[in-house]
Amino acid sequence: MTEHLDTQALTWAALLGKWVQFARSAVALPNDDEGQRMRESVVDLIMLQAVWFSLQHLDDLSTDEKELGMDRAEILIHKHRQRLQARWGDQMPQGIQELLADAQNALPPEAPPEAPPEAPPEVPPESLTFDASFNNE
């Protein structure tokens, strides 16, 4: 009998293993300025990869979860982009630039804003009447 394998869970587990390996390998980076910036960037890079991967599975979510997921993804991409830009400035390695672009491009295009509802017609105050016969009893 063949058991059902949750390929999504297996994929996340494989990615987690790769991220742990990546984080451990950062210890071996050179002790120069670039090596230090790369070590400091490990968390940001892993988070951006996780966001990118998660965005590939938005269609698996309900509408509410999907909207929340997109909002969180935008916040995370913005946060980690800022941290990486502050750290690297104009010397950001090409691979990091590509990861940032991939994460940003994985966000679904924004839907055009809905047209605002039409305002109700204005009612002149003199046309409003008060019914004094109304009783709360």
pTM of the model as a whole = 0.69
What digits encode the pLDDT tens for the residues 71-101? 999 999 999 999 999 999 999 999 999 999 9
Residue with tokens 């994985």: 106
Residue with tokens 């599975």: 57
Q: How many angstroms separate the CA atoms of 99 and 85, rounded? A: 13
Residue 34's alpha-carbon distances to 26, 29, 42, 62, 94, in angstroms, are 12, 9, 13, 42, 13
Section 118-137 average pLDDT: 62
pLDDT value of residue 125: 65
